[in-house]
């Protein structure tokens, strides 16, 4: 049963979601307190970012013990209670699976680094240096070399992320067996699937050759979508995935649609869907750290390409936000129209064919962090990049980039109400709350009929009532327009039209079809004119004709 096609996913970043005991840190009991809120919103699946035991160098994406919960977040008993509470409400839970690397405090690594003949040495990727330098030219995603020297063995170890996140050696069958054990541990407990962190980095090309060309971008086939990816995923599918009623979504770095299809094609099912990031370049060159002006075409074109490529034989995941990305209202429009903009963006992205992923706070239109000093940031990528940037630019320019690109933009605590610390915590929050919580918060949004939150609820209910949202074929109109996003979906003799004005001005446009023959299903304005209002979004339903 491909239930993932009907999934509407809500991503929880646990540290910033809700703090139940006043220590300033979100926790599992805090999530339990909000399960009714999630149910009421209309989602049916939660993706929980890592809650495992971790020294938090990368906020939990560096795991010390895969089968236990970080003390600050609670206990395994709390976890089971949360899972049970979700299931009772008809909500499934997918966990974050981070197995490209572990924490440098994982017992395997503590052993591995001791000596070359330690039984765990081959769990990781150690190599001799070349003439006193790193074994090759690979760069870390967080800046700098991907190699760190280990004195005890006079070798370097590979870390594609921070130096406290050593890469596992997937060539070693013991590592693969360990991962299967971890998967079964959670699946047997009742977990419904996994979001697989940087899954297309698992396989590193034999001999670990240096890349030729731009760092990282030229790593395709070397450590991005490497030679044994299919082999590894097939093995996981054979021994684990196929034995449970679950789904996987693979986070895939720099992946193209053809490679994605080779993983997700129905029948192959190595993964059920992937996250790609091509549309995240709509306002930057390859990386958030190289910003440029937002252009609608750069958002639409990659999304459309993926729609056409995957809609028949595969499946897409639909997102504009996650814990690594700045807030969408800051990126894809004029923030002065925040409310209409947030509603329009939801209609635009989630009405395509695929599974929607809503990131916590997106449903109330939360904005980027307000910070002005580097000391206010906590994210390891941000701090590393800042250090790198400061080598060749002024503090002012570096801070300007940090403000645009930092991952902490989406990690500020969830804004629940007008109380102290936005109702997130009675104590000192681990990361500063955005002061705009007095205007932007859940409690007020629930009361306001025209709020973004109530629009999300209406929209998600509509989606559930009309199978065309899940099953309809996708076809785009006006692909070249930088002002309007317009596409249709077709299913079972019906046609759905999705029309979005991406400008802050009124807009004339030719709808192609005779709209008087269609029913207006949803509108983010109370007015309905021939022209489109700033950031207006409308959905029409009619006969296919
Ligand atoms: O992200 C992978 C990834 O590609 C990002 O690190 C990306 O390069 C960066 O966030 C852009 O700002 C995943 C997780 O989502 C991320 O939180 C982790 O830090 C990373 O893997 C390592 O586990
Ligand atoms: Ca807490």
User: How far apart are the C-alpha atoms of 247 and 253, rounded to whole Å?
Assistant: 19
Phi, psi of 539 (to 5 degrees): -125, 125
The residue contributing the CA closest to ligand 1 atom 4 is 253
Strand partners, 519: 541
Structure token digits, residue 326:
């700045």
DSSP 8-class letter at 414: P
**Which ligand sits closest to the CA of 289?**
1
379 Cα–ligand 1 center, Å: 11
Q: Quick one: what percent of the chain has pLDDT higher than 70?
A: 100
Tokens 């090309």 — which residue?
A: 205
325 Cα–ligand 1 center, Å: 9
198 Cα–ligand 1 center, Å: 7
**Which ligand sits closest to the CA of 28?**
2
Q: Is the pLDDT of residue 8 over 80?
A: yes
pLDDT number for residue 545 = 75
For residues 70-89, give the mean pLDDT.
Answer: 98
Ramachandran assignment for 150, one of left (phi > 0), alpha (psi -120 to 50 degrees), beta (any other): beta
Question: Taking all residues of the chain, what is their mean pLDDT, rounded to a whole number?
Answer: 98
Catalytic residues, by residue number, are 197, 251
Cβ < 6 A, ligand 1 pocket? 58, 61, 98, 141, 161, 197-198, 251, 253, 288, 323-324, 381, 407
Q: Measure CA 429 to chain center.
A: 23
Tens-place pLDDT, residues 449-470:
999 999 999 999 999 999 999 9
82 Cα–ligand 2 center, Å: 15
Q: Which residues of 126-148 are buried (b: 16+ CB within 10 A; e: fewer)?
A: beeeeeeebbbebbbbbbebbbb
324 Cα–ligand 1 center, Å: 6
Choose which residue among 14, 224, 324 to substitute to test ligand 1 binding: the one with the highest number of ligand atoms within 8 A of its C-beta.
324
Tokens 């705009």 — which residue?
A: 436
pLDDT number for residue 1 = 64
User: How far apart are the C-alpha atoms of 363 and 452, rounded to whole Å?
Assistant: 6
Q: Which atom of ligand 1 is nearest to the CA of 325?
A: 12
pLDDT number for residue 232 = 98
For residues 465-489, give the mean pLDDT.
Answer: 98
User: How far apart are the C-alpha atoms of 205 and 158, rounded to whole Å?
Assistant: 13
The residue contributing the CA closest to ligand 1 atom 14 is 197
Tens-place pLDDT, residues 206-244:
999 999 999 999 999 999 999 999 999 999 999 999 999
Structure token digits, residue 290:
């190289």
R_g of the chain computed on alpha carbons: 23
The residue contributing the CA closest to ligand 1 atom 12 is 324
**Which ligand sits closest to the CA of 166?**
1
Tens-place pLDDT, residues 328-347:
999 999 999 999 999 999 99
Cα four-point dihedral sign 373, 375, 376, 380: positive
For residues 80-99, give the mean pLDDT.
Answer: 98
Structure token digits, residue 381:
């990528």
pLDDT number for residue 137 = 97
**Which ligand sits closest to the CA of 22?**
2
Choose which residue among 11, 12, 198, 327 to substitute to test ligand 1 binding: the one with the highest number of ligand atoms within 8 A of its C-beta.
198
Tens-place pLDDT, residues 270-327:
999 999 999 999 999 989 999 999 999 999 999 999 999 999 999 999 999 999 999 9
**pLDDT range class, residue 71, cuts 50, 70, 90:** very high
pLDDT number for residue 360 = 99
Predicted TM-score (pTM) of the model is: 0.98
User: How far apart are the C-alpha atoms of 175 and 381, rounded to whole Å?
Assistant: 27
**CB under 5 Å of ion ligand 2: residues:** 19, 21, 23, 25, 27
Q: Please, which residues have CB within 8 angstroms of residue 293's CB and are 6 or more apart in sequence?
A: 283
466 Cα–ligand 1 center, Å: 35
* Angle, in degrees to the nearest 10, between helices 452-465 and 338-350: 20
pLDDT number for residue 181 = 98
Q: Which atom of ligand 1 is nearest to the CA of 324?
A: 10
């Amino acid at each position: 049963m491909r239930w993932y096609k009907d999934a509407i996913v809500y991503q929880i970043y646990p540290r910033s979601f809700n703090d139940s005991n006043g220590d300033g840190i979100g926790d599992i009991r805090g999530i339990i307190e909000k399960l009714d809120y999630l149910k009421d919103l209309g989602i049916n699946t939660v993706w929980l970012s890592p809650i495992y035991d971790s020294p938090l160098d990368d906020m939990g994406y560096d795991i010390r013990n895969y089968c236990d919960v970080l003390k600050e977040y609670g206990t395994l008993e709390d976890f089971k209670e949360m899972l049970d509470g979700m299931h009772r409400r008809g909500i499934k839970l997918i966990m974050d699976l981070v197995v490209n690397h572990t924490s440098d405090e994982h017992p395997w690594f503590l052993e591995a680094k001791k000596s070359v003949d330690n039984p765990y040495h081959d769990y990781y990727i150690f190599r001799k240096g070349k003439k006193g330098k790193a074994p090759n030219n690979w760069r870390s995603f967080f800046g700098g070399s991907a190699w760190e020297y280990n004195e005890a063995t006079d070798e370097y170890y590979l870390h594609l992320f921070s130096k406290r996140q050593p890469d596992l050696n997937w060539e070693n069958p013991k590592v693969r067996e360990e991962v299967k054990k971890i998967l079964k541990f959670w699946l047997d407990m009742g977990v419904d699937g996994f979001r697989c962190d940087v899954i297309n980095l698992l396989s590193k090309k034999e001999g670990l050759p240096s890349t030729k060309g731009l760092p990282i971008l030229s790593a395709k086939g070397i450590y991005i979508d490497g030679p044994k990816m299919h082999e590894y995923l097939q093995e996981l599918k054979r021994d684990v995935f196929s034995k449970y009623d679950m789904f996987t979504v693979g986070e895939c770095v720099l992946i193209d649609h053809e490679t994605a299809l080779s993983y997700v094609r129905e029948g192959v099912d190595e993964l059920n869907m992937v996250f790609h990031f091509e549309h995240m370049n709509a306002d930057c060159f390859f990386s958030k750290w190289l910003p440029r002006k937002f252009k609608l075409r750069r958002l639409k074109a990659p999304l459309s390409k993926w729609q056409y490529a995957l809609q028949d034989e595969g499946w897409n995941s639909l997102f504009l936000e996650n814990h690594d990305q700045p807030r969408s209202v800051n990126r894809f429009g004029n923030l002065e129209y925040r409310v209409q903009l947030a509603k329009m963006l939801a209609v635009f992205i989630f009405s395509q064919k695929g599974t929607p992923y809503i990131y916590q706070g997106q449903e109330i239109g939360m904005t980027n962090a307000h910070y002005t000093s580097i000391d206010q940031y906590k994210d390891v990528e941000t701090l590393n990049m800042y250090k790198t940037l400061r080598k060749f630019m002024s503090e002012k320019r570096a801070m300007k980039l940090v403000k645009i690109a930092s991952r902490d933009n989406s990690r500020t605590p969830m804004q629940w109400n007008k109380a102290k610390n936005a109702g997130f915590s009675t104590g000192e929050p681990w990361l500063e709350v955005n002061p705009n919580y007095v205007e932007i918060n859940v409690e007020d949004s629930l009361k306001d009929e025209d709020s973004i939150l109530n629009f999300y609820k209406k929209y998600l209910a509509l989606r559930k009532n009309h199978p065309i949202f899940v099953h309809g074929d996708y076809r785009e109109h006006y692909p070249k327009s930088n002002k309007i996003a317009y596409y249709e979906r077709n299913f079972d003799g019906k046609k759905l039209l999705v029309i979005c004005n991406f400008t802050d001005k009124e807009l004339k446009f030719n709808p192609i079809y005779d709209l008087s023959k269609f029913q207006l299903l949803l509108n983010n304005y109370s007015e309905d004119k021939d022209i489109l209002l700033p950031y207006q979004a409308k959905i029409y339903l009619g006969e296919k004709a």
